[in-house]
Amino acid sequence: MKIQTFLLAGGLAAAAPLAAQAQSADALYVRSLAANCSNCHGTSGRAVATSAVPALAGMPREYMLRQLQAFRDGSRPATVMHQITKGFSPTQLEQIAGYFAAQPK
Ligand code: HEC
């Protein structure tokens, strides 16, 4: 009985770091998707003050998602964004919009 309790507790303790790792792997994945945007929109979506390209940090999720979908389906004309958004799945665009919405401006 004591050994079973010990094994159970040991198993739970060993599983906890795995769950934390899975969560941070997801976060890292979404962050790496968003990193594709930093060349033009600034690191973490914070563009420099004089930039002609808009900052993405803190942009409302729904607004950004609508723009990304419109670039992707061609209903919003663009110079580069129509091509960039075609490189991501609709789910990835949702993840990217969620990431930038959560970034401080
Ligand atoms: C090569 C430079 C470049 C990259 C990389 C880039 N963008 Fe853009 N982005 C632009 C430009 C330029 C515009 C203005 C529209 C156009 O001409 O394409 C724009 C416009 C936008 C807008 C519209 C902003 C508004 O105020 O309506 C959003 C949203 C956006 N980009 C998101 C992204 C996201 C998300 C990524 C990464 C997946 C990304 N961009 C990557 C250059 C870039």
Query: Has residue 1 got a pLDDT over 90?
Result: no
pLDDT of amino acid 60: 98
- Among protein residues, the one with the nearest Cα to ligand 1's atom 38 is 37
Summarize the confidence of residues 26-43 as an average pLDDT.
96
For residue 84 and ligand 1, the question of a CB distance below 6 A is answered with yes
In the predicted model, what is the mean pLDDT of the chain? 89
Rounded Cα distance between 35 and 23, Å, is 18
Share of the chain above pLDDT 70, in %: 84
Evaluated on CA atoms 48, 49, 51, 56, the torsion sign reads positive
Cβ count near 43 (within 10 Å): 12
Rounded Cα distance between 40 and 52, Å, is 9
For residue 56 and ligand 1, the question of a CB distance below 6 A is answered with yes
